[in-house]
């Protein structure tokens, strides 16, 4: 019999061997009766300042004859592996997938497991050469609009922090983490199988993406690099029959999965022009905040900060301040990167936005996170932006303003957090991880007043939760504007577009996911829907 025991405590200075006696105690059996023990989940419990501990879940073998009767609390039988998906039976032309981000790659994988080969069309370059394009942006402030932090193999997911956390509770979440672990094995990614907050890092992610791609190609998936989709082929009945490419080519197919990510702006414009079921949706905007990592460690770990078994500390903050008579507004930290760097993530010339990333060791001496305020179509309308592209045009407006405030070359405007609260940039900027560099600027001029007031109100609450968070040592860097897609491409039955049957809007760009894992899961869900149709 195999049992899973949840949340066995282990103090930082205790060896893993102590788990055996703790597991035996929990089960109420002699230690000698336990077979092999395998750690399946490890989390850090730092709620008690100065006394953090690990909580581990383990799988343990027990002789059947032990017959425990009813299982103690927190103990359950180890679940069986799910059966493989059924194979597609009907004849079909290979589906086309637009975008080789997590959604597109996992859609290709999910379909391949059902015996369906696909054609993957990606505007950017493979993840190797893409690295050089990204480096040019960091070093020289030169943007390649086709190959950058958002576009290219692996999508926005390739050069990220690579946190594989998600709030969705879908059963396929585990499969996504296992897939990254399998293809990133040579970079030691086996560890993410047990981490409660799995983190890959942008030094290891490209390797996992490459491994997954090699497997796809070896099994018959065709990939077209540097091929931008500019239109859909639609027959007289209004059904999708393929895609048109920049430069004049086309690929015919009866099924197109559209997974262009939240920066696939030309496609959003195309859909709005053609009236193909696109609408504006809420997202969140604000700034990146950057602290010294040592300061965040001190706040979170107390006197235990610096212990060699403790990772750079993270945080997650949220407040819902009331601004006047309006309903409470969500303000929260977003995509927090311990030991990370702040990076430029634009895709269009003359517009600037930022995000955060880190390597697998999280070795930078800085911690950063988005500090963002929820905004909605009502906010866009107040400034005269209406219609399906209201959010996109509003995003562009503030990304342009940020670029200009930074003085060009993708230098980012920044000021000290305490100066933002005081309403004007006073002190010179301190050290930062951001390249190609910061420019002291008045960030209070960016975004409408609700964003500024929302941030100021919420920062009071953040400081109550994390004493020392609001400090002149922290820099605010502008702007964080692409927290999720500004549009939704409506889908209905069988996950097909409500406007164009045969089209499957997918992932973050279509408005159905946010983050690497949920986008990948959405790709798997679309693969399942197409698999069912073909079986």
Ligand X SMILES: Cc1cc2nc3c(=O)[nH]c(=O)nc-3n(C[C@H](O)[C@H](O)[C@H](O)COP(=O)(O)OP(=O)(O)OC[C@H]3O[C@@H](n4cnc5c(N)ncnc54)[C@H](O)[C@@H]3O)c2cc1C
Options 27, 34, 100, 375; binder of ligand X; rule CB under 6 A: 100
Residue 106 beta carbon to ligand X: minimum distance, rounded to whole angstroms: 8
Under the binding rule (CB under 6 A), the answer on residue 104 touching ligand X is: yes
**Do residues 258 and 267 make contact, with C-beta atoms less than 8 angstroms apart?**
yes
Count CA atoms closer than 13 A to 115's CA, side-chain side: 12
Residue 486 makes contact with ligand X by CB under 6 A: no
Rule CB under 6 A: choose which of 113, 133, 161, 419 binds ligand X: 161
Query: Nearest 10 degrees: CA dihedral of 385, 388, 394, 395?
Result: 180
- The answer to whether 123 contacts ligand X (rule: CB under 6 A) is yes
Q: Which stretch binds ligand X (CB under 6 A): 16-24, 205-213, 254-262, 315-323?
A: 254-262
**Among 184, 260, 413, 478, contact with ligand X (rule: CB under 6 A):** 260
**How far apart are alpha carbons 334 and 372 in whole angstroms?**
7
Q: How far apart are CA 382 and CA 67, in angstroms?
A: 67
What's the closest the beta carbon of residue 301 comes to ligand X, in angstroms?
A: 22
Q: Which has the closest alpha carbon to 476: 285, 288, 341, 284?
A: 288
Give the residue among 272, 414, 261, 259 at the shortest CA–CA distance from 347: 261
- CA nearest to 472, candidates 415, 414, 413, 418: 418
Assess 373 for contact with ligand X (CB under 6 A).
Answer: no
CA–CA separation, 74 and 4 (whole Å): 8
**Candidates 82-90, 128-136, 284-292, 506-514 — which segment interacts with ligand X by CB under 6 A?**
506-514
CA–CA distance, 246 with 252 (Å, rounded to integer): 15
The answer to whether 261 contacts ligand X (rule: CB under 6 A) is yes
- Residue 4: closest CA among 92, 107, 78: 78
Question: Per rule CB under 6 A, is residue 192 in the interface with ligand X?
Answer: no
* Beta-bridge mates of residue 242: 233, 252
Contacts of 95 (CB under 8 A, 6+ apart): 111, 116, 118, 119, 253, 254, 255, 256, 257, 530
> Counting contacts by CB under 6 A, is residue 204 touching ligand X?
no
Q: Output 103 or 474, the one with its CB closest to ligand X.
A: 103
Give the shortest CB-483-to-ligand X separation in angstroms. 9
| 163 near ligand X, rule: CB under 6 A | yes
Helices within 413-505 (DSSP H only): 417-422, 449-465
Q: Is 124 in the site for ligand X (CB under 6 A)?
A: yes
Please give the sequence-ordered ranges of beta strands (E in DSSP) within 185-282, or none if there are none: 222-224, 229-234, 240-245, 250-252, 256-258, 278-280
DSSP letters, 461-475, are HHHHHSTT-S-TT-E
Any contact of residue 477 with ligand X (CB under 6 A)?
no
Q: How far apart are the first and last CA of the chain?
A: 36
Among 360, 368, 497, 519, binds ligand X (CB under 6 A): 519
* Alpha helical stretches, state H, 50-126: 102-112
Q: Does 435 bind ligand X (CB under 6 A)?
A: no
Stretch near ligand X under the rule CB under 6 A, chosen from 8-16, 129-137, 161-169, 233-241: 161-169
- 515 is a contact residue toward ligand X (CB under 6 A): yes
Q: Stretches 109-117, 281-289, 458-466, 512-520: which one binds ligand X (CB under 6 A)?
A: 512-520
Span from 102-110, 136-144, 172-180, 325-333 in contact with ligand X (CB under 6 A): 102-110
Q: Which is nearer to ligand X, 441 or 513 (CB)?
A: 513
374 binds ligand X (CB under 6 A): no
Is 206 among the residues that bind ligand X (CB under 6 A)? no
Task: Work out whether 98 is an interface residue with ligand X (CB under 6 A).
Answer: yes
CB of 466 to ligand X, least distance (A): 21
By CB under 6 A, name the one of 102, 198, 339, 413 that touches ligand X.
Answer: 102
Query: Which of the stretches 101-109, 172-180, 281-289, 382-390 binds ligand X when contact is defined by CB under 6 A?
Result: 101-109
Report the candidate in 239, 218, 240, 238 with the shortest Cα–Cα distance to residue 229: 240
Minimum CB distance to ligand X smaller for 98 or for 405:
98
Q: Give residues 129-158 in contact with ligand X (rule: CB under 6 A).
A: 149-152, 155-157
If binding means CB under 6 A, how many residues of this protein chain bind ligand X? 44
CB of 364 closer than 8 Å to CB of 166: no
Single out the residue of 160, 253, 360, 528 in contact with ligand X (rule: CB under 6 A).
160
CA distances in angstroms from 252 to 92, 242, 301, 504, listed in the order given: 12, 4, 57, 15
Q: Cα-flanking dihedrals φ and ψ of residue 513, to 5°? A: -160, 165
Q: Does 201 bind ligand X (CB under 6 A)?
A: no
Cα 130 to Cα 110, 124, 143, 228: the distances in Å are 25, 8, 12, 16
* 508 in contact with ligand X (CB under 6 A): yes
| Residues 259 and 103 sit within 8 Å (Cβ to Cβ) | yes
User: In the complex with ligand X, which residue's Cβ is closer, 101 or 377?
Assistant: 101
Q: List the one residue from 57, 118, 345, 432 that touches ligand X (CB under 6 A).
A: 345
Stretch that binds ligand X, among 232-240, 388-396, 495-503, 510-518 (CB under 6 A): 510-518
Q: Binding residues for ligand X, per CB under 6 A?
A: 98-104, 121-124, 149-152, 155-157, 160-163, 228-229, 259-261, 264, 266-267, 335, 343, 345, 355, 357, 507-509, 513-517, 519
């Amino acid at each position: 019999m195999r049992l899973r025991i949840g949340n066995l405590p282990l103090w930082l200075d205790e060896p893993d061997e102590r788990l055996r006696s703790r597991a035996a105690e929990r089960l109420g059996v002699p230690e000698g009766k336990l077979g092999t023990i395998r750690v399946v989940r490890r989390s850090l419990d730092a709620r008690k300042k100065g006394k953090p501990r690990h909580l581990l879940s383990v799988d343990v073998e027990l002789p059947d004859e032990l017959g425990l009767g009813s299982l103690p609390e927190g103990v359950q039988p180890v679940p069986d592996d799910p059966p493989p998906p059924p194979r597609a039976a009907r004849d079909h032309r290979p589906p086309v997938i637009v975008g080789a981000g997590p959604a597109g790659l996992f859609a290709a994988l999910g379909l391949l497991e059902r015996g369906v080969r696909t054609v993957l069309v990606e505007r950017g370059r493979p993840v190797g050469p893409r690295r050089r394009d990204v480096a040019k942006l960091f070093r020289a402030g030169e943007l390649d609009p086709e190959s950058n932090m958002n576009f290219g193999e692996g999508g926005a997911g390739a050069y990220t922090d690579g946190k594989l956390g998600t709030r969705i509770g879908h059963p396929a979440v585990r499969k996504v983490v296992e897939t990254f672990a399998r293809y990133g094995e040579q970079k030691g990614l086996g560890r993410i199988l047990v981490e409660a907050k799995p983190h890959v890092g942008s030094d290891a992610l490209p390797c996992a993406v490459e491994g997954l791609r090699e497997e796809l190609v070896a099994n018959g998936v065709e990939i077209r690099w540097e091929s931008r989709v500019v239109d859909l082929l639609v027959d007289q009945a209004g059904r999708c029959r393929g895609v048109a490419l920049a430069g004049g080519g086309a690929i015919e197919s009866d099924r197109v999965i559209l997974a262009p990510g939240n920066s696939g702006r030309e496609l959003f414009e195309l859909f709005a022009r053609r009236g193909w079921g696109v609408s504006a949706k809420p997202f969140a905007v604000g700034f990146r905040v950057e602290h010294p990592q040592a300061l965040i460690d001190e706040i979170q770990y107390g006197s235990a900060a610096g212990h060699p078994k403790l990772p750079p500390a993270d945080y997650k903050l949220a407040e819902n301040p009331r601004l006047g008579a309006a309903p409470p507004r969500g303000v929260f930290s977003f995509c927090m990167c311990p030991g990370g760097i702040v990076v430029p993530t634009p895709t269009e010339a003359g517009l600037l936005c930022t995000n955060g990333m880190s390597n697998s060791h999280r070795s930078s001496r800085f911690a950063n996170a988005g500090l963002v305020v929820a905004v909605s179509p009502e906010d866009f309308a107040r400034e005269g932006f209406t219609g399906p592209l209201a959010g996109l045009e509003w995003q562009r407006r503030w990304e342009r303003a940020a670029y200009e405030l930074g003085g060009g070359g993708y230098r980012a405007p920044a000021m000290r957090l305490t100066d933002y609260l005081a309403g004007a940039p006073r002190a010179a900027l301190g050290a930062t991880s951001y390249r190609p560099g910061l420019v002291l600027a008045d960030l209070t001029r960016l975004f409408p007043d609700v964003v500024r007031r929302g941030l100021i109100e919420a920062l009071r609450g953040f400081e109550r939760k994390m004493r020392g968070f609001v400090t002149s040592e922290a820099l605010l860097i502008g702007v964080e504007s692409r927290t999720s897609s500004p549009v939704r491409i409506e889908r209905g039955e069988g996950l097909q577009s409500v406007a164009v049957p045969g089209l499957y809007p997918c992932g973050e760009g279509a408005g159905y996911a946010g983050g690497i894992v949920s986008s990948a899961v959405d790709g798997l869900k679309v693969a399942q829907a197409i698999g069912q149709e073909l079986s």
